Structure 1
Amino acid sequence: MKLSREDRWLTWWLAACVAVAAAMIAANALGPRYVGISYLPRLFSPLPFAAAMGAWIGLSARGHRREAELCVDLSFYALAMTAMSALTTGAQYTPFAPIDAALARGDAALGWNGPAVLHWTVAHPTLRAFLDRCYFSTDLQLGLAPLAASLAPDRRRRRVLLHAFIYSLLIGTLFYYFFPSSGPAGVYGGPDYGPFQFWTARKFALVHAGRPGATVEGGLIAFPSFHVAWSVLVADAARADRRAFFPALALNVAVIASTVLLGWHFLVDVPAGLALAVASVAAGEYAHRRLN
């Protein structure tokens, strides 16, 4: 049983994610001591152990190469999800001030009126319901992305997805730690925003006031938009098969549109999310080529 060169590279990056998360949590414990929450649901607490077992089975398999590779890759993906929970838990303790006002000014400079756009969307309830379903499909899409990538005749798309997901996760979370953002609801307010959107901003206030009551509902990071970044990653993974790619592309174009039409994100969050995704996929393609 031996890890390949690429497996070792991915392992080091996952270890870096956990180390960064631990450093964020330690900095809070030694400094401001904000009161936060765990972003790793108890239901998922066995995930690292299941991933380790899956990797061991995959690395020990003989005579079933494709099945063994799938088992190893899914195990890495499960560990990346665990690292995401750890990083999110650590990032909430950022000691820096939010940049939402600057993001709002960026939208204004582009001529974008977020509250007016949201009000227009609210006036079209059928469209709003459709966009809601698209927006909240991202978690399910992330879970299915490795399987979509597995439709390719080799594991390249699946491995690029692994690289890109880990890189985007670490870079995007680090950016948030130093330049936190909560989204438009906390800046503009108004009856058109939903309760979960207000929770994103309220959580920041509760954590940094040392008060309990924060919840995982509503998300955490606005800039760069992870919904946008992950939409690109899912569509890229689905390139393995045309029958999967075009529906995935259409759905994720709608997801990206929903981030601003529903008021979850500033307009400037979108190009930031696109840039994060493109850079991460390019880095993933490069790393996969160099390590094989």
Structure 2
Amino acid sequence: MIKKLKYNEIDFKKYTQCLENSEQRNWYAKKEVLDELSGHWEVVVYGDYEAVLPVPMRKKLGINFVIMPLFCQQLGVFSGKDNFEINNLLLQYLKKKYQVLFYSFNQNNLFTENLEKKKNYIIPISNYEILRRKKYFKGRKSTAKCAQHLIYKEIELNADSLKFIEDNNKGIPKKSDFEKFIKYLSFLDQNKTLQLCGAYLGEKLINLAVLISEKEQLSLLALINDETCKNENGPSFLIDKILQLYIHEKSFNFMGSNIRGIEVFFKSFGAELQEYCHLENKILKKIS
């Protein structure tokens, strides 16, 4: 009933159909996205692709460990309707058959086992005026209003935007990880799922929101700021403007975070907490 399939054994037509018809459908589990971010992954299948569990791996010390790829937030079980019995079976199979360093399930997966959780924040499709009036924090309304001297533009991935990202990136300190980030941006751009939204002070770009744009959701991959212009309140202006333009047709996924200051920033726009379970072997992580 449950089987592990190596990459070359996967029926990707059935795998994709399962994802598309699943209650938990998300961006990260798509074949092309996992191919780009992981490169080495397989899948645990329940029945005839009634449920699938994609498993990304990386080799360390000659051993294949399960670990979430960089820029991949949630995977887990995908099925027509979330079923905690199937989820439990696949969870136990994952723990028994693999060396798990770190693995994130998705926000819809329910388990009887009490797993550790991480935080994510999402604004569902809403009426912008009602969202702003009823759910924005008072201080966020004021900050966004004070930044109306800024100019909003949607721009292309080109030499200028790449230079801004390179000059102002603070969240990805390792050079190799930053190179993966730039490669991922090119992948998103080629697949027409990249959206770059900029805040300008006159002619100068001072803030950039890097978004993954899907049919029904925008996901914030990065918010990059020119720290010399932090008094201009560009991040508040930028998120508010994006919500004004798109929240009536697309939900907004903030993609984390567990850092208190960032968490409060997300909540101040009326974002709702959606936790997701994860497995982490802290001892194995130290050894590897």
TM above 0.5: no
Q: Which has the higher contact order (CA 8 A, sep 6+)?
A: 1
Q: Counting strand residues as a fraction of each chain, which structure ranks higher? A: 2
Structure number with higher helix proportion: 1
**TM-score normalised according to structure 2 size:** 0.28
